[in-house]
């Protein structure tokens, strides 16, 4: 089965607790004065997420495809926030 691509979506400002619930299932980080959402989406889900951000009146700064980090429980996972550093090609090991 093919893995969905991972996207990082950056929104201006820090979203409030109520808005956080709209992003259930996504990794949400606060970085400086921005909110970063990270998750796996197919094209339809990505467009749906961007539409939801627009409908909530949030200021979209960036949406970009990123290499997925290996799961934290993976013994070959990279330490820290170095995404894809576990393998030179940035891909996860197959089991």
Low-confidence ranges of the chain (pLDDT < 50): 74, 76-95
Residue extents of the structural domains in the chain: 6-66
Which of 67, 73, 65, 63 has its CA nearest to residue 85? 67
Q: Which residues are CB-neighbours of 24 under 8 A, at least 6 positions away? A: none
Global pTM? 0.69
Residue 67 half-sphere exposure toward CB, CA atoms < 13 A = 15
pLDDT at 93: 39
Architecture of domain 6-66: 2-Layer Sandwich (3.30)
Residue carrying structure tokens 């607790």: 17
pLDDT at 89: 40
């Amino acid at each position: 089965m093919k893995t969905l691509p991972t996207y990082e979506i950056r929104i201006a400002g820090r979203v409030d607790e109520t808005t956080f619930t709209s992003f259930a299932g996504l990794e949400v980080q606060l970085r400086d004065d921005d909110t970063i959402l990270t998750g796996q989406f197919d094209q339809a889900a990505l467009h749906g997420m961007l539409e939801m951000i627009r409908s909530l009146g949030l200021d979209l700064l960036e949406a970009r495809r990123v290499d997925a980090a290996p799961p934290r429980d993976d013994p070959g996972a990279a330490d820290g926030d170095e995404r894809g550093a576990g393998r030179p090609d940035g891909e996860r090991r197959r089991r």
